[in-house]
Amino acid sequence: MNGSSQQKAQLGVGICGLGTVGSGAFNLLANNEAEISRKTNRHVKVVQVGCRRDHTDCDLSDVDVTRDIFDVVKNPAVDIVLELIGGTDIAMELVIAAIENKKHVVTANKALIALHGEKLFQMAADAGVCLKYEAAIAGGIPIVKAIREGLAGNDIEFVAGIINGTTNFILTEMESAGNRDFADVLAEAQALGYAEADPTFDIEGIDAAHKLTILSSIAFGVPLQFDAMYTEGISKITVEDIRYASELGFKIKHLGITTKTDKGIGLRVHPTLIQKDKMLAQVNGVMNAVLVGSDAAGETMYYGAGAGAGPTASSVIADVIDVVRAGNAIPDMGFLQDELLNSPVLAIEDVESAYYLRLSALDKPGVMAQISSILGRHNISIESLIQKDLHDGQVPVVIVTDSVIEKSMNAAIVELESLDQVEDSVTRIRVESF
């Protein structure tokens, strides 16, 4: 029998930050109050909001509003604090204060978790409260729960994903438009609100690296290791690279990739060529997708909106419901702290992959023989090759190699660039088979 509303106890939520995500979380709790109550047997209600200014989309008429977010973590009526202010410094102080006041915390802050998560998780465990973070990765895609709970019985082998909508939008537009360069599409992304005025965190891969740090930890039961991440952005990708990749049967995507090997954990974010018929190649625009490889379930892919008020709020409120239902029944990182493995992170030079190489060679006899000879000396096999028509005395040459350790490729590129017949630097993009 359903309990009457009078029999259900209230659980107080305090929201810190009323921007895109905060307002989305506030309205989702209000709009779906009855459904959430049915799922938790509690009245989950926002009792206080801490924000610098009100949000026009939120009806705050019956909610206590404060301009000091630290009032929220001290409020005895607040059971769960939603940290939705962003950044790391003040957010760190806020989360620590919440934990010290015995409040559960739900956050969408990937940088905070990637950089300071282990300290905060230990503090939360010592205080007997939860620290949840589903919304920190891939917006509305429940990827944390999928890996931590849905695939809990599996040995995870790899995680590879498009986990930044800005970079995916730019690469998609560069491909579909055919002749628009990176700077042009970036300006459009900024005009549409997909990219910040300072887009560095997105286009240089830092945002994706924060997210991948967390995914690697929950997938493999290893410490959060952001500082060991190899990170490369998309600002050097050209229209020519996208065109040549397409001619060879590939698309260029900006991927976060973490793998488990006998030698250690691979942890890298960079542009990647993937075959057009692969699932990740079909993910376009601002959408996100994460592909997980595991021993029993095989490959599973999770697709959806990676940002926005509604999708991100969906993940925030799912964490709130988890706190109400189960509390600390499931370790926040999927593994107990004393069960984490100190597996080393592989240096990028020790990672193995195939490669796309683009170079401009002078139109002279024997140049291709020299290029092939250099690659052969480093045990690099050519999988495919395009030699374009002569242009301004130079011949564009595009090569896709078989898989090789990166240090061998680095050495080969040094030799290629030293040839008198090779103009400028060699463009190198990794190729994966996901």
Residue 413 makes CB contacts below 8 A (sequence gap 6+) with 357, 426, 428
Name the catalytic one among 211, 251, 253, 260: 211
Q: Which two tokens stand for residue 413?
A: 């590129």
- CA–chain centroid gap for 203, Å, is 12
Beta bridge partners of 305: 287
Cα–Cα separations (whole angstroms), residue 247 to 36, 385, 398: 50, 11, 10
- CA–chain centroid gap for 51, Å, is 27
- 211 catalytic? Reply is yes
- CA–chain centroid gap for 425, Å, is 30
Residue 378 makes CB contacts below 8 A (sequence gap 6+) with 404, 408, 409, 411, 412, 415
How many Cβ atoms sit within 10 Å of the Cβ of residue 115?
18
For the annotated catalytic residues, the residue numbers are 211
